[in-house]
């Protein structure tokens, strides 16, 4: 059952990554690695059931594909900062082909020995991959990326220890086979690491896994309750039902996405074939956006015309009124009218679709321009700017003006958050899991930070903690970044500062 479970988990992960619209080099290499694990384990499972040499060959081929794909995935995961590289993948491919050639001429009676050789062969490359993780941790400076690789290293080390029991089993000791269960957990954990960059903390990743585990326990409980109601006896052990529930739970999302794609080809009206019983947040958000786009122009026209009249009347009365007290009241009317007009302009920017002027541009050049603009404003003397820009960044196809607006808005928020002064840091670098054309921009301040109560709401339209804010600045920024196919993430500690990461 453990072998079949690992095969099912591997196939589910491979499907989930290959169905994704964003297929980065990291995702594809990990999907291929998981598919190789699936082939190896499904071949081993059917070989146990039927004892047919064909399934042994399938298992052998799948197992020998794992080392090259592991080297390839490792090079993308670690951003080619270790000895893992395309050359390592090519070298392991040659070694795997040599073993396959050796297997062809080997008599079937000695295949049990070959199976043991392949087991040790894959183990050696797994240890090489673990060594690369350690090398990366030694050279990489402290930061979120290093922490995430540290989690992978700890999970890999745990898998190594649990897999030692397999070696004892092959040596004749009566020890449990735990490597398949450990490998399934490791693959799922690595999937969480590479597909959820917005979860930088280990406890957040573990909570995501705990959520899946609760679903599995719930499915198992429902199964037993239904059997109890109908009085059906069950001979299968609890662990088998639990593993079956695990397989069903992890297969739901990739199978659902696959079915939606298939149905969209057969029905030309492009309806959404979703099996979710509850409202979809993304669908509601799309419908809200369409509604805002339709009403924005009319709303702005109806508000701005009276505002213009009010401001004009106040400016005229200010020239006619002799008393200073009355002039101050008229100044308040004019200022508040300007503020309301600014709020309407920001609402229009949020609601209307942005016409993007995409060109290949240097991200570093835009960040440098923002730094210049910030320095030319009334920058407090107790605030200083730090920058750490990667000179080897590729040019990206972006709207430079809109991206400048985003970075400048975030930078000004960072300055406002540091009334006591501090460092405002700008950094750019490649995204290790994003391939050759993916980068991230980091704007960090040492300000007052954002409380846990406020943090979930900062991207909501019209939500603000400022006395004269509209609450649309970050909403507009996130919309611009999403229109570029990117994402914005916020990591903040109250009293220590805020880090905003823009991924493109």
* Mean pLDDT of all residues in 411-420: 87
Closest CA to 94 of 131, 125, 116: 125
Give per-residue pLDDT as tens, 247-258: 777 777 777 777
Residue 390 clears pLDDT 80, i.e. is over it = yes
Contact 447, 497 (CB under 8 A): yes
Q: What is the pLDDT of residue 365?
A: 92
Assign residue 172 a region (left: φ > 0; alpha: ψ between -120 and 50; beta: otherwise). Answer: left
Query: Which of 39-48, 268-277, 471-480 shows the lowest per-residue confidence on average (mean pLDDT)?
Result: 268-277
Give per-residue pLDDT as tens, 89-104: 888 889 888 888 877 7
Closest CA to 347 of 470, 255, 246, 263: 470
**345 vs 358: CA distance, rounded Å:** 23
Give per-residue pLDDT as tens, 328-369: 777 778 877 877 777 777 666 665 655 677 888 899 999 999
More confident residue, 326 or 389: 389
Q: What is the pLDDT of residue 357?
A: 79
More confident residue, 486 or 170: 486
Q: What is the pLDDT of residue 391?
A: 86
**Residue percentage of the chain with pLDDT more than 90:** 4
Could you tell me the pLDDT band of residue 276, with boundaries at 50, 70 and 90?
A: very low
Residue 272 clears pLDDT 50, i.e. is over it = no
Residue 434 clears pLDDT 80, i.e. is over it = no
Cβ neighbours of residue 297 closer than 8 Å, sequence gap 6 or more: 348, 352
Q: What is the pLDDT of residue 122?
A: 85
Q: What is the pLDDT of residue 202?
A: 59
DSSP three-state, residue 488: strand
207 φ/ψ angles, rounded to the nearest 5 degrees: -65, -40
Q: What is the pLDDT of residue 35?
A: 92
> Facing residues of 440 across strands?
429, 503
Cβ neighbours of residue 159 closer than 8 Å, sequence gap 6 or more: 179, 182, 183, 185, 186
Contact 400, 360 (CB under 8 A): no
280 φ/ψ angles, rounded to the nearest 5 degrees: -90, 125
Residue 473 clears pLDDT 70, i.e. is over it = yes
Query: Which of 37-41, 283-287, 337-341 shows the lowest per-residue confidence on average (mean pLDDT)?
Result: 283-287
**464 vs 469: CA distance, rounded Å:** 6
Q: How far is CA 355 from the centre of its chain?
A: 27
Could you tell me the pLDDT band of residue 275, with boundaries at 50, 70 and 90?
A: very low
Could you tell me the pLDDT band of residue 190, with boundaries at 50, 70 and 90?
A: confident
**DSSP secondary-structure letter at 236?**
S
**403 vs 481: CA distance, rounded Å:** 8
**DSSP secondary-structure letter at 419?**
T
Q: What share of the chain is helix, strand, coil (3-state, %, to 5)?
A: 65, 10, 25
Give per-residue pLDDT as tens, 111-157: 667 777 887 888 888 888 889 889 888 887 776 677 778 888 888 88
**251 vs 12: CA distance, rounded Å:** 6
Closest CA to 273 of 285, 258, 284, 291: 258
């Amino acid at each position: 059952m453990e072998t079949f479970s690992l095969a099912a988990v591997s196939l589910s992960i491979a499907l989930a990554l290959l169905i994704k619209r964003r297929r980065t080099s990291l995702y594809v290499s990990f999907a291929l690695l998981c598919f190789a694990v699936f082939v190896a384990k499904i071949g081993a499972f059917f070989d146990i059931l039927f004892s047919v040499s064909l399934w042994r060959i399938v298992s052998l081929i799948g197992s020998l594909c794992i080392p090259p794909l592991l080297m390839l995935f490792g090079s993308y995961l670690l951003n080619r900062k270790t000895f893992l590289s395309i050359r390592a993948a090519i070298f392991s491919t040659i070694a795997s082909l040599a073993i396959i050639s050796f297997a062809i001429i080997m008599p079937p009676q000695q295949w049990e020995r070959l199976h043991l050789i392949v087991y040790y062969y894959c183990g050696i490359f797994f240890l090489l991959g673990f060594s690369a993780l350690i090398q990366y941790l030694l050279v990489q400076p402290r930061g979120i990326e290093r922490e995430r690789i540290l989690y992978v290293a700890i999970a890999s080390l745990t898998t190594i220890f649990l897999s030692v029991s397999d070696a004892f089993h092959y040596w004749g000791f009566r020890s449990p086979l735990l490597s398949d269960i450990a490998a399934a957990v490791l693959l799922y954990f690595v999937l969480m690491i590479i597909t959820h960059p917005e979860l930088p903390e280990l406890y957040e990743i573990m909570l995501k896994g705990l959520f899946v585990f609760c679903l599995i326990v719930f499915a198992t409980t429902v199964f037993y309750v239904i059997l109890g109601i109908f009085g059906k006896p069950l001979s299968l052990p609890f662990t088998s039902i639990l593993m079956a529930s695990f397989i069903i739970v992890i297969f739901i999302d990739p199978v659902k996405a696959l079915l939606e794609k298939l149905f969209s080809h057969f029905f030309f009206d492009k309806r959404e074939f979703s099996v979710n019983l509850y409202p979809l947040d993304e669908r509601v958000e799309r419908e809200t956006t369409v509604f805002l786009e339709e009403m924005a122009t009319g709303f702005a026209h109806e508000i701005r015309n009276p505002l213009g009249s009010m401001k004009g009347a106040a400016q005229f009365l200010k020239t006619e009124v002799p008393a200073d007290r009355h002039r101050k009241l008229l100044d308040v009317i004019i200022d508040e009218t300007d503020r309301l007009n600014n709020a309407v302009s920001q609402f229009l920017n949020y609601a209307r679709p942005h016409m993007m002027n995409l060109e290949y541009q240097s991200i570093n050049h835009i960040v440098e321009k923002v730094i210049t603009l910030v320095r030319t404003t009334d920058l407090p003397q107790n605030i200083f700017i730090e920058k750490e820009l990667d000179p080897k960044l590729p040019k990206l196809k972006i709207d430079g003006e809109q991206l400048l607006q985003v970075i400048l808005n975030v930078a000004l928020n960072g300055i406002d958050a540091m009334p006591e002064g501090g460092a405002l840091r700008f950094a750019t670098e490649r995204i290790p899991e994003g391939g050759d054309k993916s980068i991230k921009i980091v704007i960090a301040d040492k300000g007052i930070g954002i409380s846990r109560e406020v943090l979930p709401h900062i991207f909501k339209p019209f939500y603000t903690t400022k006395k004269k804010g509209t609450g649309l600045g970050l909403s507009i920024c996130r919309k611009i970044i999403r229109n570029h196919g990117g994402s914005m993430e916020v990591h903040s500690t109250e009293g220590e500062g805020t880090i905003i990461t823009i991924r493109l």
